[in-house]
Amino acid sequence: MAVPDVEVFEGERPRLMGLAYRMLGSAAEAEDVVQDAYLRWSRAGHVDVPAAWLTTVVTNLCLNRLSLARVRRESYVGPWLPEPVLTADGALGPLETVEQRDSVSQGVLVLLERLTPAERAVFILREAFGHPHREIAEILGVSEAHSRQLHRRARAHVGEDGRKGVIDADRHRRIVETFFGATLDGDVAALERLLAEDVVSVADGGGEVSAARRPVSGRAAVLRYLRGLAARPEVASATTRITEVNGEPAALFWIGGALAGVVTLQVEDGLITQVRTVVSPRKLAFAAAQLV
């Protein structure tokens, strides 16, 4: 039996990682799936179309995991956010189109939690990777008509609450920098100018560290919340960096030399509508390892 080419698999690895991450919202689990796919690849013998074969294997491995993930989400402590991933180095494959970049954003990944596993798979394969429904149907083992139906359902669930338009990356970065600087400096006036009236702040501590157990809604409430965070003694020694996370500018901050949080902002019409903060050490582990 011919041994599959390791170089072929390694060439596909970033794309497969991007697929698995979009499916699961967890970088650690995505790595496990890709490694499992490699083990299957190494035992597969000759494969006519490696990319298609690997896409099918990874998609179905993710579908198997999503049912268990749903059960874990139900008992999760506080709000759930995806694991942040630094993407400037291509860790999740190419982000060359708006659809590819949008589909790894924290905002869209949260919306994908509304979908059934099959709807999520069809949405990602179609929107992020551009597969025609004929190929998606083969990957999932369904009819082409059913694939189209799943895609319509997914778009209906995600579309209305998805991103309201593309913001220039440089402008987005400036807003992140201004927001973070104003928060640390306690500049309430600057924050008021940045925050939308109906802004929502969501923090994911996973029950591991102190974080708001419920979303904080409204400009006044979010301002009080941010002022409280800035007043914490440990924040005075924090160091920060702006970099690309999940395809968009984000703020990373360290306390005592350890990565303590990643903050991403959803911006619409020049105003911040959502502040998403991941402070769970477990969820920060992948990003921390990328920085080493």
Query: What pLDDT, in 10s, does the model give residues 148-169?
Result: 999 999 999 887 665 555 578 8
Query: What pLDDT, in 10s, does the model give residues 280-291?
Result: 999 999 999 999
Domain termination residue (choose one: 114, 131, 159): 159
Same domain, yes or no, for 101 and 174? no
DSSP state for residue 2 in the 8-state scheme: P
Query: What pLDDT, in 10s, does the model give residues 203-262?
Result: 999 989 888 899 999 999 999 999 998 888 888 888 999 999 999 999 999 998 899 999
Provide mean pLDDT across the span 116-124: 96
Same domain, yes or no, for 154 and 187? no
Q: What percent of the chain has pLDDT over 90?
A: 75
pLDDT at residue 73 tops 80? no
DSSP state for residue 44 in the 8-state scheme: S
CB 8 within 8 Å of CB 52: no
For residues 216-242, b (16+ Cβ closer than 10 Å) or e, as one string?
A: beebeebbeebeebbeeeeeeebeeee
pLDDT at residue 125 tops 70? yes
Out of 4-8, 176-180, 187-191, 264-268, least confident range:
4-8
What average pLDDT does the structure give for the chain? 92
Provide mean pLDDT across the span 102-126: 95
Same domain, yes or no, for 178 and 153? no
pTM over 0.75: yes
What pLDDT was estimated at residue 160? Answer: 60
CB 18 within 8 Å of CB 92: yes
Same domain, yes or no, for 115 and 236? no
Query: What pLDDT, in 10s, does the model give residues 3-50?
Result: 568 889 999 999 999 999 999 999 999 999 999 999 999 998 888 999
- Does residue 73 form part of some domain? yes
Same domain, yes or no, for 190 and 265? yes
- Does residue 278 form part of some domain? yes
Domain termination residue (choose one: 111, 136, 159): 159
- The values of phi and psi at residue 26, to 5°, are -130, 120
For residues 12-40, b (16+ Cβ closer than 10 Å) or e, as one string?
A: bbbbbbbbbbbbbbbbebbeebbebbbee
Same domain, yes or no, for 36 and 153? yes
Same domain, yes or no, for 24 and 155? yes
Angle between helices 144-159 and 117-127 (to 10 degrees): 90
- Does residue 1 form part of some domain? no
What pLDDT was estimated at residue 204? Answer: 96
Query: How far is residue 113 CA from its own chain's centroid?
Result: 11
What pLDDT was estimated at residue 179? Answer: 95
What CATH number corresponds to the domain at position 61?
A: 1.20.140.160
Same domain, yes or no, for 33 and 146? yes
What CATH number corresponds to the domain at position 283?
A: 3.10.450.50
Same domain, yes or no, for 21 and 82? yes
Same domain, yes or no, for 151 and 30? yes
What pLDDT was estimated at residue 166? Answer: 59
Q: Scanning the structure block, which residue is given the tokens 């179309």?
A: 49
What pLDDT was estimated at residue 292? Answer: 87
Angle between helices 27-42 and 281-291 (to 10 degrees): 70
Q: What percent of the chain has pLDDT over 70?
A: 96
> Residue 132 in 3-state DSSP?
coil
Same domain, yes or no, for 19 and 147? yes
What pLDDT was estimated at residue 46? Answer: 84
What pLDDT was estimated at residue 163? Answer: 53
Domain termination residue (choose one: 125, 159, 193): 159
Number of domains in the chain: 2
**What are the structure tokens assigned to 291, written together?**
């920085």
Same domain, yes or no, for 154 and 178? no
What pLDDT was estimated at residue 165? Answer: 55
Range of the structural domain that residue 173 is part of: 169-291
CA gap 156, 174 in Å, rounded: 32
- Does residue 164 form part of some domain? no
200 by Cβ neighbours in 10 Å (0-12 / 13-18 / 19+) ranks as middle
- Does residue 106 form part of some domain? yes
**195-204 β-sheet, strand order:** 216-217, 195-204, 271-278, 258-268, 248-255, 239-245
**What are the structure tokens assigned to 171, written together?**
């402008």
